[in-house]
Structure 1
Amino acid sequence: MAKVNIALDAELVVEVMVLAGVGSPQDAVEAVVRDYIARGHRTEARTADRDEAHRTGTLLPPEPPQG
């Protein structure tokens, strides 16, 4: 996999490290990026299911929020 070097504000990275409970700046930022991507995929899956239900006429009542 290709690597990319970027510069970030040190306070921002330290905050991410604390919130993620990770000791390495690179691991902390990587965890945030992976979470962001996974969240996007989950959103796409939910909206695709909803669009499919509208298209086919098999619309179900909304699920209660999880959380």
Structure 2
Amino acid sequence: MAKVNISLDADLVVEVMVLTGVGNPQDAVELVVRDYIERGHRTEARTATRDEALRTVDVRPRDVEG
């Protein structure tokens, strides 16, 4: 996989390290990014399932009252 170098605010990185419990700044930030991406995929999957259920319409003819 290709690597990218970026600069981040040191306070931000330290906070990420504390929250993740990881001592290596690179690993801590990578862990947060991977988690963010996975959450997005899970949300998309849940939303797609719900949207698909809303699109499914009961096509049985209704009983006519009268």
Shared fold, TM over 0.5: yes
Gaps of 5+ in 2: 59-66
RMSD after superposition:
1.1
Gaps of 5+ in 1: 59-67
The CA distance in 2 between the partners of 1:39 and 1:16, in whole Å, is 17
The CA distance in 2 between the partners of 1:49 and 1:17, in whole Å, is 35
1:40-66 superposed Cα distances (whole Å, 9 cap, x missing partner):
0011001000011011138xxxxxxxx
1:11-53 superposed Cα distances (whole Å, 9 cap, x missing partner):
1100000000001000000001001000000110010000110
Map residues 15-34 of structure 1 onto 2, 5 A cutoff. 15-34=15-34
Aligned to 1:53: 53
Aligned to 1:61: none
- Give aligned pairs, total: 58
Quote the offset at 1:8 in angstroms: 0.3
Q: Taking every aligned residue pair, what percent have the same amino acid on both sides?
A: 83
